[in-house]
Every structure is written in structure tokens, then in C-alpha cells.
Structure 1
Amino acid sequence: MTRIKGFFAQTSFMGSAALLASSTVLGQGLVLLVQPLLTRIYQPADFGWWALYGSILSMAAVVINLRYEQAIQLPKEEPEARRLLVLAGGVGLVLSALIGLAFWLFRGIFSAWLGFSIPGWFAALVGVGLACIALMQAGSMWALRLAQFGVLAQTKFQQGLWQALAQVGLGLVLKGPGGLLLGDVLGRLGGVQALWRLWPRSLEGISWPALFQVARRYRSFLFFGTSAALLTAASFHLPFIVLTAFFGTAAMGQFGLSYRMTTIPVTLVAQSIGQVFFSRAAAARQTPELARLTAQTATTLLALGLPIFGALFVVAPQAFPLIFGPAWQEAGLYARLLAPYLLLSIVAQPLSTLLTVREWQKALLIFTVLELALRMGAIYWGIGTQQMYWAVFLFAASSALVAGLSLGLFFRAAGVRWGDFWSRVRPFVWLNLPILLLLGGLGHWFAGWSLLVWAGLLAGAVLVWTLMQLRKGGLQ
């Protein structure tokens, strides 16, 4: 990791983001590289269990710290921020234990609702996974406050490394989905271990009255932020649980693989840039700099996402069975459906912290109610067709609509004008449109690996040109 730190200067926005992204690329790149091996070790139904586990964790993760970790960036004085860190971490561990116990005790009820039995070990891993997430979320925000981007980079790399090695190794000795889930937990433990050295070693100034004081001061994060975050998570992950209940773990495994693999670019870019953006936006929240920073970040993300997801839209149906095996052709069709949504999502996700920076918790809560209604309405409409393909299509279409609407809300929070944003992104849009048409035409002449090579070369050339234009435009 010291070599990675040396490559990127941490004083600039893009230098810090590049440091985080490079380590995420290394960590998640290992996860990506072992996927073709995992799809041959495990069955689609095993991936369905992993998708179900991930959806449960993701829904609970957004409220596990009661959103107090989001406030760690805001206090001017470090003692107050340290109390928020202890509050967020302590609340997270207690709630992890309670949720894990409740899930284990009532797994029979959940089994009846899903239509298949949930084993005890699956329920136990829910609590363990949530405890890791609670510590990572609080620790990551503390690292951001300290501008310890190198430690965050190590966290991302170590989590990916531990997960990749554990899932492959356990898959060779365990049958069923246990290896995937245990490997997931071990990866999260690797991330916690990397962050642990930044946690304060002294509890000076930490007392129950002091913790109650900061809990009261930032109670809007608890009352409005928690509700909004839970609704947002439900709109993203409840459809996975519902689809599993109606179509089974095998069908969910296909969709789960396509969703996981196509969101890797979002994870690599959006989370890395988003964390640095949050730090910069919190510092600029009362200045005109916030609008410029937001427009620049959105332009960068859209420009980088256009060639990636454009190529994915064209080649996904052929790429998935080639890379992961012939049993995964259905996953390629789902990946194509997800591509437009992911393009908008890669822009909107990092900017979502603007509502936290501006303390617009009420607006966030109202919007997430609409978000949940749109997504769940689309899912149940798709279930009514009794075809997984149409359920995924409607989920992707509603998600794209939500991402577009949320982008408008974020621009309003930052004071960004749509006309100014369009003038920034127009050159990149006009370049990518003919490239997308060219790729579609090549699909009639080439197939298999030849098409993938052509798509990679064209997307890579556009990405290089995009980076040059962004740097020429003064990207920092």
C-alpha cells in the first residue's frame, strides 16, 4: 500500500479519489478475477443465497449506526467528532447483536414467507456481518475526517483480497453456499482490521452525558436520516428478496451475478470519488464552491461512465457466457437491461451526500418514499407477468427514473444549473453516441471474443480521450 500512496498526491481532489480508486481496483479486481472460477465452483442457487444475504445486510447496514456516522464530518472540534465516532460504533455493535438474534429466533417466519427454509448458520452470519459493517462505516468516516485516504485505500484492498481468497479456498472444501457467505464475512473482517489502528486509544472526554449530548445535537440524522436511508435501502434491496421469494434462488443467482458484476465500476469509481467529494463538500457547504465542485464531479463521472456502460450494453449477452460459463447466459441479458440505470447511478450515488451536507433530511425522507413506491410498484408489476426477464426490465427502468430524479434533487441542493451541466457534458455525449452505434454494427460482423476485444479497444480509446479532455478542462 505504501507504493500506491506514492503514486497519487493526496492534496488534490482527484489525487485522493485516485488513491482510493486504485486500491478499490486492486481489491475488487481480485474479486472480479476469481468470479469465473467461483461460477464453476458454486451453483447459481448458491449465488442466489449470497445475493439474499447481501440484500439483508445492505438493508440493515444503512441504519445500523442510526446514521450518526454521517455526522462525524461536521463538528469543528475533534472531541465532539470523537464522541460521535464512539456513539456510532457502540450503537452499531448493539444493534448488530439484536438484529442477528432476532433473525435467528424468527427465521421460521422468514422461511415461511420466502417459501424455503433458512438454516441457523445463515441467520447467525447476519449478526456477524452487520457488526463488521457497523465498525467499517464508523471507522471510514473517521478516516475521512482525518484525511487518512491511504488507510481507506488499504481497507478497500484488504477487504477484496481476504474475500477473494476465502471464497475460493472455502469453495474447494465446502459444498453449498457456505463458502460464499463465510468468505464475504472474512472480507469485511479484513476491512475492519485495516481501519482499527485509527480508532482513538483514549476514552478521555467520553462519558454517558457527553454521548447523550451529541446524540441529541445530531438527532435529525436519527429521525429523518435513518428513515430515509432505510427506505432507500429497501427500494434497492427489497426487490432482491421479493424476487427470490417468487422466482427462487437459482433465478436470483443469475440476476445477482449480473448485478454484482455490473456494479463493480460503480463501486470502483462512485464510492471512491464520493468519499472524497463528501469531505470537500462538507468544507464548502456555505460557499459558491459547492456548485462548481458538484458540477465538476458529475461531469467527470458521466464522461467516464458513458464508454464503460455503452460497451456493456452491447456486449453483455455474449460476454457473460464466455467469461462465466454457458450456464450464465441469462445473467448477460440482465446486465444489458441494467446498463442505462448504472450509467445514471454512477453519477448520482457520489452526490447523494449533498443532502447530508446541507442537512436536508426532510427532503431526503420525502424523496425516498417516492423512490420505494416506484421500485416496488415496478417489481410487483413484473411479478405479475410471471417472467423474471420482465421483472428485471421494470426494476431497471424504474431505477433509472429514480436516479435521474435524484440527480435533479442533488443539483438543486448544490445550486447547479442544468444548462451549465449540459454544456460541460455535451462533447462527451456526442462522441459516445457514434461509438455505441459502431459497436452495435460490429455485433453483426464479429462474435465471441472478437467482439469483446473490439469493444474493449474502442471503450479504452474513448476513455483515454475523455481523461485528456477532463485534464485539459482543469480537472484537479
Structure 2
Amino acid sequence: MPTGTLTGFFRGRFGRSLRLHSGGAIASQILMVVISPVLVRLYRPEDLGLYGLVIGGAALAAVFFTLRLEQEIMLSDDNVDANRIASALFRLAIATGIAATIVLALIALAAGYGNAISWLAIAMGLAVMIAIQKVLWVLNFRQHRFAEVSRSRLTQAATSCCVWVAMGLAGFSQSGLLAGAAAGQAAAFLFLTPAHSPAESGGFAVLPALTRRGWRSIAFATPSELVKLLSIQLPLFAFSASFGLAQTGHLALAFRTVATPARLFGNAAGDVFYAHAAREEEPVAKLVIQTTAGLIVVAAIGFGVLYIAALPVFDVVFGPAWLDAASYARILVPYLFASFVVTPLAGVLTIARRQHLELAWQVIILAVGAAAFAFGHGLALPPEKMLAVYSLSCGLFFLVYWAMIYLSAKSRDSGN
């Protein structure tokens, strides 16, 4: 990357990779935003709220299906080893998903909730797809195949949107939303698999050596990812408990139209940052500074426009019945701004083999968020004020996260 701080972010190899990878993320989210006014007329707030909870549960389950060992794909010495790891993780995810479905089905039957088995099977199927997709992404990131991942994101979004509209017009509710999510995941998976499925077989025999080598991923990255996903889903869970599914649906729409696109672009920047920091000789601390500066510029523009335009845009696009979602989107700006700037840099902790710091951070931010909602619930605050306490407190704590990352980068550069 060039020496200029902002120039290094927007130009050069890093900038080209970011444009390639973020293109699909941006295009897919434009589709999601465009389709949202249609979805809110086809589905109820309760449908969107329950859908968000089920998808959140599937994402949580997916963490356990690979134990975050996909991190070893990026850190492996050669492509043959990386392909073997990916092949083994495919098998692990499928086997774990089947076992989890059977166990949960038996528990549901024993508890007298046999009608929930089909929903559990759908959630576990989605979890397997999510886990396999993550493995395929890392395999592509290792080889800087950002264009392929970008196209897969767009394919996934387009497929989901088509199914959502078709199922909604046919009169389906939550099941229509889940079917769209499953179809999108399958399309993305099939889009990536033919070009980049591992050529070398890496069956279950690879797993013992892989678990020894990647024990930090199992011991720290797996619980860290679990806590992270819990933290992301915390606002939905808290609103569901305090204000019911209708308000949860408004918050889910705010996340869908604002937080999710921002998070996906931030994740795209993080993927590119991780790939370049792990595979290049340039000082990692320098990359941290350059990437931070670039993300601050992007965030200032994007979230500034959001804060000013959210209410009138939501009023026109979604209708006055959804203005609560616009208010929630504006309130979330401090949290989203800080998360957008800092979270993409988290790969430093993996590269520096300091996954324990990532786990510590995720526990801290989950505790801060939970305390904020507990505080608001205890004082019987209305939804807007409770969400404001959460957004401001979590946003400020991201300064601690950035300090952890930068100091780890400096330590890694010095050979410690």
C-alpha cells in the first residue's frame, strides 16, 4: 500500500481488492433496501421479528459446526494444506448439523413440542449452509479471489429476494422468509463450489492434527464468535422481551436497512484487510492506521447522511407506520459508526495469535450491552431511550477494542 494514509486505503492493491469485494456487498444490500418496501407490505412486523430471531439462532449454531477452524485456512503454509482443511471442515459441518438436528428433535419431542421439529430442521439446515459458506469464503480470500465472493453475495441476495416476493404473494408468512433465506444460501454455496471446492481430499483423518494446530481457534475464537453473535442479536432479544414482536419487527427493519448493509461493507473491508495483513510483509500496524482512517471517512459520510435523511426516507419508502424503525436507525448511529470503523481490524488478533483478547473483548461488549438494556428495563424506559443507552455505551467502548488491536499489531511487527 502507498505511504499516504488515506491513499493507502482507497488505492493500490488494498483499494482494488476492497472495491472488488465490497461491490457485491453493496449491490446485494441495494437489492435488500429496494425490496424492503415490498416485504413490509407482504409480511407483518411479527413475521420479520420471528424471522430475525430464527436467523440469529442459525448463525449461532453455525459457529459450533466448524469450531472456527476455518481460520487455519488463511494461516496454512500452502494451498494444498488449505484445501485439505476446507474439505475436512465441509464434512465436519454436515455431520455436526445432522447430529444437532437429531438431538434437538429428541429434546423437542420429550418436552412435548413435536410441532417445532420442522422449524428446528430448517434452522439447522441454514446453520450448515452458513458454516460451509464461511469456509468457502476464507478459501477464496486466501487466494485474493474477491470478485468470486462478490458475485456470490449478489447471487444470494437476488435469489432470496425473488423467493421472498413469490412466497409473500402466495400468502406465506415466516416460512416464506425462511425459504428465501435458505434458497439464497444454497445459490451462493453452489455458485462458489464448482470453481473452488478443494481438489485434495481432507476427510475426518485430518481433524486430529488440525485441532492440535488450531487449538486457539477452538478455545478462544469459537466462544468469541458465539458471544459476538449473541451481542449482535441482543437488541432483538431485549426488545422482544420488553416490548413484544411488533417493536422487534421495527428494530429488525432498522437493522435490515441500515445496520446490516453497514456491517456487510465493514465485513468486506475486514476480509480484505485480513487477507492482506496475513499474506504480505508490510507492517500490520501501518495497515491498521491506514484502514482506520479510510473507514472513518466512509463512516462519516454514510452515517451523516443516514442521520439526516432517515425519517423522511422511511416515511416515503415504507410509510408512516414504520417511522419507529427510522427513529431506531438514527439512535443506532453511534454504535454502528464505532463498530464499522473498528470491527474490520479484528483479524489482527488472529494473525498475532491473540484470540484470547478477542474473546475478552466480545465478553466485555456483550456485558456492556446487556447492562444497558437491563438498566433501561429496570427504569421502564421507552424503546427509544433504552436503545439510546445501548448505542452510546457500546459505541464508546469500541475505543478499548481499537487499542487492543493496535497494540497487538505493534507487538506482532516487533516479533513479540
Q: TM-score, normalised by structure 2?
A: 0.89
Residue 142 of structure 1 corresponds to which residue in structure 2? 139
In the alignment, the residues of structure 1 paired with residue 112 and residue 161 of structure 2 have an alpha-carbon distance, to the nearest angstrom, of: 29
Q: Distance in 2 between matches of 1:99 and 1:242?
A: 26
2:139 counterpart letter in structure 1:
W
Could you say which residue in structure 1 is the equivalent of 2:388? 393
Distance 1:110 1:198 in 2: 44
1:182 CA displacement:
1.1
Contact 1:52 1:244 (8 Å CA) reproduced: no
Aligned equivalent of 1:128, options 125, 128, 135: 125
Match of 1:253 among 249, 255, 265: 249
In the TM superposition, residue 292 of structure 1 has moved relative to its aligned partner by 1.4
Aligned pairs for 1:218-237 (under 5 A) are 218-237=214-233
Structure 1 residues 335 and 201, CA, compared in 2 at 3 Å: closer, same or farther? closer
Match of 1:175 among 172, 176, 185: 172
Amino acid at match of 2:317: I
The answer on whether the counterparts of 1:277 and 1:350 sit within 8 Å (CA) in structure 2 is: yes
Contact 2:83 2:200 in 1 (8 A): no
Q: Distance in 1 between matches of 2:108 and 2:19?
A: 43
**2:31 is matched with which residue?**
30
Question: Which residue identity does 2:347 align to in structure 1?
Answer: T
- For residues 441-464 of structure 1, the C-alpha deviation after alignment (integer angstroms, 9 at most, x for no partner) is xxxxxxxxxxxxxxxxxxxxxxxx
> Are the structure 2 counterparts of residues 291 and 381 from structure 1 closer, same or farther at C-alpha, using a change threshold of 3 Å?
same
- 1:48–1:210 Cα change, 3 Å: closer
Given the superposition, is the C-alpha separation of residues 339 and 22 from structure 1 closer, same or farther in structure 2, using an over 3 Å criterion? Answer: same
1:256, distance to aligned residue in structure 2 (A): 0.6
Residue 106 (structure 1) shift: 4.2
Q: 1:130 to 1:397 in 2, by over 3 A?
A: same
Match runs of 1:193-204 below 5 Å: 193-200=190-197, 202-204=199-201
Compute the displacement of 1:371 (Å). 1.8
Residues 236 and 108 from structure 1, CA distance in 2 versus in 1: closer, same or farther, beyond 3 angstroms? Answer: farther
| 1:97 maps to amino acid | I
In the alignment, what sits opposite 1:159?
156
Range with greater deviation from structure 2 (305-314 or 97-106): 97-106
CA displacement, residues 340-387 of structure 1 (integer Å, 9 cap, x when unaligned)? 111111111211111111110122222222222111111222222343
Alpha-carbon separation, structure 2, partners of 1:326 and 1:393: 22
Aligned to 2:99: 98
Which of 404, 408, 411 pairs up with 1:413? 408
Q: How many residues align?
A: 401
Judged with a 3 Å threshold, the aligned counterparts in structure 2 of structure 1 residues 356 and 191 are, in CA distance, closer, same or farther, namely: same
| Structure 1 segment 40-79 matched on structure 2, within 5 A | 40-79=41-80
Match of 1:272 among 268, 271, 279: 268
Which shifted more, 72-81 or 299-308?
72-81
- 1:67 touches 1:88 (CA, 8 Å); kept in 2? no
Instruction: Give distance in 2, aligned partners of 1:13 and 1:260.
Output: 28
User: How big is the shift at 1:94?
Assistant: 2.4
CA distance in 2, matches of 1:169, 1:181: 13
Deviation at 1:122, TM superposition (A): 2.7
Shift of 1:88: 2.4
Amino acid at match of 1:94: A
Asked if 1 retains the 8 angstrom alpha-carbon contact of 2:70 and 2:85, the reply is yes
SS of residue matched to 1:73: helix
Contact 1:270 1:349 in 2 (8 A): yes
Asked whether the equivalents of residues 86 and 139 of structure 2 are also in contact (C-alpha less than 8 Å), the reply is yes
- Secondary structure at 2:65's aligned position in 1? coil
Summarize deviations over 1:173-212 as a string: whole Å, max 9, x none: 03322211211111111111111123445445x3544331
* Structure 1 residues 328 and 295: CA distance shift in structure 2, 3 A: same
Letter in 1 for 2:344: P
Provide the residue aligned with 1:425 in structure 2: none
Note the alpha carbon deviations across 1:149-186, whole angstroms, 9 max, x for none.
22111111101111111111111003322211211111
Relative distance call for 1:21 and 1:111 in structure 2 (3 A) is: farther
Preserved CA contact (<8 Å) 1:385 1:391? no
Q: 1:246–1:268: structure 2 CA closer, same or farther, 3 Å change rule?
A: closer
Distance in 2 separating the partners of 1:33 and 1:357: 38
Report the alpha carbon displacement of residue 306 of structure 1 after superposing the two structures with TM: 0.3
Partner secondary structure for residue 66 of structure 2: coil
Q: What percentage of aligned pairs have identical amino acids?
A: 26
Distance 1:411 1:333, change over 3 A: same
Distance 1:217 1:268, change over 3 A: closer
Q: Within 2, Cα distance between the matches of 1:207 and 1:176?
A: 40
In structure 2, do the counterparts of structure 1 residues 72 and 11 end up closer, same or farther at CA, with 3 Å as the change threshold?
farther
The aligned residue for residue 190 of structure 1 is 187
State the alpha-carbon separation in 1 of the partners of residues 225 and 242 from structure 2.
26
Give the Cα–Cα distance (whole angstroms) in 1 for the partners of residues 362 and 111 of structure 2.
25
Distance in 2 (CA, whole Å) between partners of 1:110 and 1:329 is 40
Structure 2: tracts of 5 or more residues without a match: 1-10, 412-416
1:303 is aligned, of 297, 301, 310, to: 297
Provide Cα deviations, 1:38-71, integer angstroms capped at 9, x if missing partner.
1111111111111111221232333331000112
Contact 1:59 1:230 (C-alpha < 8 Å) held by counterparts: yes
Q: Distance in 1 between matches of 2:187 and 2:204?
A: 30
**Bigger shift: 327-336 or 227-236?**
227-236
Query: Under a length normalisation based on structure 1, what TM-score does the superposition of the two structures give?
Result: 0.78
C-alpha distance in structure 2 between counterparts of 1:109 and 1:179, whole Å:
28
CA contact (8 A) 2:331 2:391 kept: yes
Structure 2 counterpart SS, 1:68? coil
- How many angstroms apart in 1 are the aligned matches of 2:96 and 2:397? 30
